Structure 1
Amino acid sequence: MPAQTAPPPARRSRKRIYVLLALLLAALIGGRWVSRPSQVSWIVLSQTGRALGLEISASGASEYRLRGTPMIVVRDLVVREPGAGTPLLRAQRAYLSLPWATLRAAGDSLDVERVELDAPQIDIAALNHWLATRPPSTEPIRIPSLSRGARVIDGRLIGEGWSVERLALNFAELGPDKPVRGHLRGRALSDGVAVPFDLAATLQRPALARGVGVAGAIAVEAKDWRLPMRVRLGALLHSGDDGLGLDRLRLGANARYRSGDTDLPFVYGVAGPLRYRDGKLSLSPMGAIVRGGDPSAKANAADNPIPDLSAAGSFTFGDALELHWRGEIAAWPAAWPALPPPLGQSDSPLPLRLDYTGKADFSDTIALQAQRDQTRFDGRFRLPQVLQWLDASKGSPLPPLSGTLSAPKIEISGASLEGIEIQIEDDPPPPPAPAAAH
């Protein structure tokens, strides 16, 4: 059998050239593919979405960096449950940088350098629906570390009947065993009421049952009045079957009620466990105190009509605002019209019961029961009308209330009336003036 002869040198050279050309072409194609940030971002978002059971896409221009600390930027981000009509998250821009050690750990490490979100929009109902689909876990919550912190600008939260606009959040560092200090501002909107806030917050450690402190400015703004205040809050973080919230909440505020030329200072405090669950915010049981006047002044103005009040009860805000208080007014304010004898001669506090269900600006009817000694009032009123009456320098000596007043004895203009029961009916508001003819 004849021996096989080796391929000629020229043929071997051509074969090597073809292999080199094929490898070079593959490298060029792969390099071209990897050099396109949209392809890299598609891989990252696809893998992240698969792990979380979400559809994640980004239709805008993308960027990435592998040199030094890896970084990726995606724009026009949309995150939704598969098949859902409403995304749980949108963002104009999302920035993430994390070290190589975190990438190589494949989820075992949560060390991140920095996170940024521009104009994120979070739908709370869609977010809660996705969270309900996640498998339960007995593992403790793992807190990621952010060595260069996080920033959110122009964010928006959308809830059932409420929203938070222009939300901004910034903190410099986050670590499982480090305190977190940050800044939070925005504007909450609900049912004709706006609540702008600008707050500094400190978290003892990002874990449950750890202390949190908040201080800064909040205001409540309705159509005809405004309530700016400086607040201080202390509490412990809570998460459980009854929802997210704060335990041992203690909130104190210096506030001013402003409407037209009226400026009434007062202080108040509330305490209790705060919870958020199923679209409802609640504080129950709660304690509350109100003190009229400005404590920073040398003496409180005697003409301040805001009474000294202490009460206990509950507060709920969801589809409507509900407030149920049982308490007492310490003394009849000097700025209120004087009571006839013997009511005005008594130093007894006024026990009261207040119940409200309605709009967030307290414009609906409030039920009120009050008693001093043997005299009792059972009626109702609307807060805007009462505030207008308090503001007026002249007018009716009786507040705009409706209800029944019963007393064993009242002295009026020298006459003594015994065993009386008076039905009080507030005059209805005047009808709107007819439009002028053109």
Structure 2
Amino acid sequence: MRRRNALLIALVVALLLLVLALRWVGQPSRVAGLILSEAGKSLGLEITAAGASEYRLRGTPMLLLRDVVARQPGAATPLLRAERIQLELPWATIRAAGNDLTVRRIELDAPQLDIAALQRWQATRPPSKPRIPTLTEGLRLVRGRVIGDGWSIDALDIDLPALYPQRSLSAQVRGRFVSDTLAGPFDLEAALTRPAANAGLGLSGSVGVESPPWSLPMRLTLSGLVHDGVDGMGVDIIRLGAVARYRNGETELPFVFGLAGPLRMHSGEVGMSPLGFALRGRDAIPSLHAHGGFSFGDLLTLRLDGLIADWPKAWPALPEPMESSVSALPFKYEYRGRPDLSDTSAMQLQRDATRFDASFRLPEVLAWIDAIDQGTPLPPLAGHLSTPRLEIAGATLEGVEVDITPALGEAMSP
């Protein structure tokens, strides 16, 4: 009788535990909470999913999370938010308990990544060799956003058909770079020799720069090597070539240009130094080559030091003896201000013994170029010209100093 009672009690307890377990498993939010808690512990993050969660066990197991937030404990800014994250994991991956990183598919809706918060978290992680997962059915990301220091990438869509650690991959990447009044839509095909540091990277497609009333659509190709180090993420040995067209109202000026150098992204800023730059234009666009660098965060800092091959024929003619000279024109250019180049630029230009130091605002100069056939022959800039000899209207002046201001025009004192 005692054995029967003990067996009956055991059966009742087992059934009760089974009912409780089924009830607990039948609540996706609890399952999701447990999974996110364990994932957060392993990553040193607080990960929550405030929205309704779902999971599926038949076939390929699936977990769907909504309103996901991941942050460092105590951090004010999350490093990741997402409206929806869906994971499909084969049973073999689940049974492997982390030894197998094969995932069937990942989908993300409206993820938002904060670069500065991400890099702060990365700095706290112990050194380790990154493990690249296998995505047999790839990744789809829609309406994403990446937030940097003074800039963002909005409306980001990524379509990655598949990912394998030791194989090449390709993806379609679309989005819109935004900073202050400057915008840059892009639609690119991306390729990697493998998903790892020092892998070969290739990009090709359309990119634009827009700052009304002007725009700069272009087609570009880029190659380089993926970089990931203490100085940030980026691309080494960049070779970029682009066919571009400046447009402003009725004005349309074609040109081509190229860039070379290492690109770095660190603490939310993007920079390239040393930088090699070459421009080949016609009409009002000069041909030149230069070296220098730039950094881009809250402000854009740009410096170039190079040579203009010749004075563009569409620009106002120079006085003699500068007009007859066949010498190239060394120049230096510096800018620090808003990303649309609307703040004051400084430029130094020289031909033989003649030197001109100028300051100007690019939008005003572009407007002058647009109306160069109808407007004033003097560009809207302030500057100082010094030359040992100047010929004007048959007269020869020596030891000439010329000061130019946009408001007063030209004042000369020989």
- TM-score tier (shorter): over 0.9
TM-aligned CA deviation for residue 319 of structure 1: 2.4
- Is 1:47 aligned to residue 45 of structure 2? no
How far 1:136 moved relative to its partner? Answer: 2.6
Residues in 2 aligned to 1:12 and 1:234: alpha-carbon distance in whole angstroms = 77
Counterparts of 1:211 and 1:62 in 2: how far apart (Å)? 39
SS in 2 for 1:406: strand
Q: Deviations over 1:286-311 (max 9, x none)?
A: 11111114xxxxxxxxxx20011111
Residue type matched to 1:173 in 2?
A
Spell out, residue by residue over 1:380-416, the C-alpha distance to the aligned partner (whole angstroms, 9 max, x if none). 1111111111111212212122111111211111111
Aligned to 2:401: 421
Query: Are 1:129 and 2:153 matched, yes or no?
Result: no
Q: CA deviation at 1:428?
A: 7.7
In the alignment, the residues of structure 1 paired with residue 13 and residue 289 of structure 2 have an alpha-carbon distance, to the nearest angstrom, of: 84
8 A contact 2:148–2:269 mirrored in 1:
no
> Who is 2:222 aligned against?
233
Instruction: Tell me the distance in 2 between the aligned counterparts of 1:240 and 1:88.
Output: 19
Distance 2:396 2:339 in 1: 43
Give the drift of 1:12. 6.2
TM-superposition CA deviations, 1:154-195 (whole Å, max 9, x none): 111222221111111110111111111001111111121111
**2:368 paired with 1:389:** yes
Matched residue, 2:317: 338
What is the DSSP-based 3-state SS (H/G/I as helix, E as strand, rest coil) of the residue aligned with 1:152?
strand
Q: Secondary structure at the match of 2:172?
A: strand
1:205 is the counterpart of 2:185? no
**What is the CA–CA distance in structure 2 between the aligned matches of 1:67 and 1:134, rounded to whole Å?**
36
* One-letter identity of the residue aligned with 2:247: R
Which of 34, 38, 41 is residue 25 of structure 2 equivalent to?
A: 34
Please report how far the alpha carbon of residue 60 of structure 1 lies from its aligned counterpart in structure 2 after TM superposition: 1.4
Does 2:347 correspond to 1:368? yes
Partners of 1:357 and 1:336 in 2: CA distance? 26
* Range 207-216 or range 35-44, more displaced: 35-44
Distance change (3 Å), C-alpha of 1:315 and 1:12: closer
TM-superposition CA deviations, 1:340-376 (whole Å, max 9, x none): 2211111111111111111111111111111111111
Question: Distance in 2 between the 1:62 and 1:428 partners?
Answer: 69
**Which residue number in structure 1 is paired with residue 412 of structure 2?**
none
Q: CA deviation at 1:23?
A: 2.4
Structure 1 or 2: more strand by fraction: 2
How far off is 1:105 after superposition?
2.1
1:85-164 mapped onto 2 (5 Å cutoff):
85-137=76-128, 140-164=129-153
**Gaps spanning 5+ residues in structure 1: where?**
1-6, 294-303, 430-438
CA shift, 1:315, in A, is 1.3
Shift of 1:22: 3.2
Answer yes or no: is 1:409 the counterpart of 2:393.
Answer: no
1:307 matched to 2:286? The reply is yes
Task: Please list the CA deviations of residues 400-435 of structure 1 after superposition, one character each: whole Å capped at 9, or x if unmatched.
Answer: 221111112111111111221111112289xxxxxx
Aligned to 2:207: 218
3-state SS of 1:345 partner: coil
In 2, the alpha carbon distance for the partners of 1:84 and 1:424 equals 53
Paired position in structure 1 for 2:357? 378
Q: Give the Cα–Cα distance (whole angstroms) in 2 for the partners of residues 29 and 283 of structure 1.
A: 59
Shift of 1:149: 0.8
The residue type paired with residue 61 of structure 1 is: A
Contact kept in structure 1, 2:234 and 2:264, CA below 8 Å: yes
Alpha-carbon deviation of 1:242? Answer: 1.7
CA distance in 2, matches of 1:16, 1:355: 87
| Aligned alpha-carbon RMSD (Å) | 1.7
Contact 2:36 2:47 in 1 (8 A): yes
Identify which of 212, 222, 246 aligns with 2:235: 246
Task: Return the alpha-carbon distance in structure 2 between the equivalents of residues 408 and 200 of structure 1.
Answer: 54
1:243-322 matches, within 5 Å, as 243-293=232-282, 304-322=283-301
Equivalent position SS for 2:323: helix
User: Measured at CA, do residues 398 and 22 of structure 1 come closer, stay the same or move farther in structure 2, by a change above 3 Å?
Assistant: same
Q: Identity rate of aligned residues, in percent?
A: 54
Match of 1:56 in 2: 47
Following TM superposition, by how much is the alpha carbon of 1:84 offset from its aligned partner in structure 2, in angstroms? 2.2
| Larger displacement relative to structure 2 (66-75 or 232-241) | 66-75
Are 1:398 and 2:378 an aligned pair?
yes
Partner SS, residue 344 of structure 1:
coil
Q: Do structure 1's residue 323 and structure 2's residue 302 form an aligned pair?
A: yes
Give ranges in structure 2 of 5+ residues lacking alignment: 410-414
Q: Is the 8 A contact 2:151 2:298 kept in 1?
A: no
TM-score, normalised to structure 1, is 0.89
Distance in 1, matches of 2:113 and 2:206, equals: 24
Contact 2:148 2:297 in 1 (8 A): no
What do residues 71-115 of structure 1 show as CA deviations (whole Å, max 9, x unaligned)? Answer: 111111111222222222111111111222222222222222111
Of 69, 73, 76, 1:78 maps to 69
Aligned length: 408
